[in-house]
C-alpha cells in the first residue's frame, strides 16, 4: 500500500488529496462512525478502497457509512468485549490490506470491560491487541494503531503489577497508560513481524488535538468544559486529525514509525514522523506488555515462525 512518489511537493503540505489510488484494497477501520475514524474511512473510500466500518453500534455505523462516497460495509465490533472481537475476526475470510486500530475511549469514570479489565486499557489496548493478532494471518499490508501524545502523561510507565488500576484509579493516568500501551504494542508487533519474515508493517499515529466527541465523556466536568473550549479555539478538525493515520497507512515509512502533526507541541499541522518518550521506546517493556496481553486476552501470536 506504500506510495513512494508523493510527499510534500508543489501542491503544498501533505493532505488527503495526496493519497495513492487504493482501488482493489480493503481496509478495516475501528470506530469509523465518528471523529478521525470516520474522516480516515471517508478518505480511504474516496481513494478507491473498500472500507469496513468496524463499530459497536450498527445503526450509527450504517448512518456514517451512508455519508461516504465509495465502497463500504458495516460490521459489529465491541472492543470492550473479547467475545465480540473473536466473533468479528472469525467472520473475516479474505485478505486485508490495512487494519486501522482507531477506536478508543478517553478519561472515563472508572468502568470495566465485559471481561473485567479497566475500560481504557481494555478497549484502547487489549481489544486492539486481540483483534490484530486474530486478523494478522489475513493482513497483507499494514497495521496502523492510533496512539496519543498523552502517552507522556502521568507515570510514563505501564503498571504491570496492576494494569487495571484497582484501588488506584485516575482517569488521566488510565488514559495515558492505554496510549503508552498502544506504542509499546506497535514496537513489539513490528519486532515480531520482522523476525517472522513478514512484509507487513506496524506503525502508529496520533492526531494532535482534534475536535471530536472523544473528549465529551470525561469524568471531570471542569476538564470536559476546558476540552470544549479547546476544541473550539485551538483544535484542528477531524479531517486534519485523520491525516497522520492516512499518512502512516499509505506512505513509504519504516516499521514502528510514529506519525503526528508537525506544528507546535504536535497539536496541529501536516503529518510527519515524530518522537516518543523513552518509556514508549523500551523493548523490554514492550515484550513484557505483549506477554501480559496474551495472558489477559488468551490470544497468542499467530504466525508460524518462532519469535524469541
Q: How far apart are CA 268 and CA 242, in angstroms?
A: 11
List CB contacts of 265: < 8 A, sequence separation 6 or more: 149
Angle ∠(37,79,154) on CA atoms, nearest 5: 80
Q: How far apart are CA 26 and CA 41, in angstroms?
A: 11
- Ordered DSSP codes for 58-97: HHHHHHHHTTSSS-EEEEE--TT-HHHHHHHHHT--S-EE
Please say whether the beta carbons of 155 and 104 come within 8 A. no
Q: Which three cell numbers stand for residue 114?
A: 465485559
Catalytic entry in 169, 175, 247, 258: 175
Do strands 258-261 and 271-273 pair parallel, antiparallel, or not at all (unpaired)?
A: antiparallel
User: Is residue 247 flagged as an active site residue?
Assistant: no
Edge-to-edge strand order for the sheet containing 26-30? 72-76, 50-55, 26-30, 96-101, 139-146, 201-205, 258-261, 271-273
Do strands 72-76 and 201-205 pair parallel, antiparallel, or not at all (unpaired)?
A: unpaired
In order of 129, 162, 198, 290, the CA distances from 305 in angstroms are 19, 31, 9, 17
Q: Which three cell numbers stand for residue 60?
A: 450509527
In the block, residue with C-alpha cell 486481540:
130
Active site residues: 175
Amino acid at each position: 500500500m506504500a506510495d513512494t512518489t508523493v510527499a510534500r511537493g508543489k501542491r503544498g503540505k501533505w493532505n488527503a488529496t495526496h493519497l495513492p489510488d487504493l482501488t482493489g484494497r480493503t481496509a478495516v477501520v475501528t470506530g469509523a462512525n465518528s471523529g478521525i475514524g470516520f474522516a480516515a474511512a471517508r478518505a480511504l473510500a474516496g481513494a478507491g478502497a473498500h472500507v469496513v466500518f468496524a463499530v459497536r453500534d450498527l445503526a450509527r455505523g450504517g448512518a456514517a457509512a451512508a455519508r461516504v462516497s465509495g465502497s463500504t460495509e458495516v460490521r459489529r465490533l465491541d472492543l470492550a468485549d473479547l467475545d465480540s472481537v473473536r466473533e468479528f475476526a472469525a467472520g473475516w475470510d479474505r485478505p486485508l490490506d490495512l487494519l486501522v486500530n482507531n477506536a478508543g475511549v478517553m478519561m472515563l469514570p472508572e468502568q470495566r470491560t465485559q471481561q473485567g479489565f479497566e475500560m481504557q486499557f481494555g478497549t484502547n489496548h487489549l481489544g486492539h491487541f486481540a483483534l490484530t493478532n486474530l486478523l494478522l494471518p489475513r493482513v497483507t499490508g499494514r497495521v496502523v494503531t492510533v496512539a496519543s501524545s498523552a502517552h507522556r502523561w502521568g507515570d510514563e510507565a505501564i503498571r504491570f503489577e496492576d494494569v487495571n488500576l484497582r484501588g488506584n484509579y485516575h482517569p488521566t493516568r488510565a488514559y495515558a497508560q492505554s496510549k503508552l500501551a498502544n506504542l509499546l504494542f506497535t514496537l513489539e508487533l513490528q519486532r515480531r513481524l520482522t523476525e517472522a519474515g513478514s512484509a507487513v508493517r506496524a506503525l502508529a499515529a496520533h492526531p494532535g488535538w482534534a475536535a471530536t466527541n472523544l473528549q465529551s465523556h470525561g469524568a471531570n466536568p471542569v476538564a470536559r468544559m476546558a476540552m470544549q473550549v479547546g476544541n473550539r479555539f485551538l483544535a484542528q478538525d477531524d479531517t486534519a486529525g485523520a491525516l497522520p493515520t492516512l499518512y502512516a497507512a499509505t506512505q513509504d515509512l519504516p516499521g514502528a514509525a510514529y506519525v503526528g502533526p508537525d506544528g507546535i507541541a504536535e497539536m496541529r499541522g501536516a503529518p510527519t514522523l515524530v518522537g516518543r518518550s523513552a518509556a514508549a521506546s523500551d523493548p523490554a517493556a514492550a515484550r513484557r506488555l505483549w506477554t501480559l496481553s496474551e495472558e489477559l486476552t488468551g490470544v497468542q501470536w499467530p504466525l508460524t515462525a518462532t519469535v524469541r
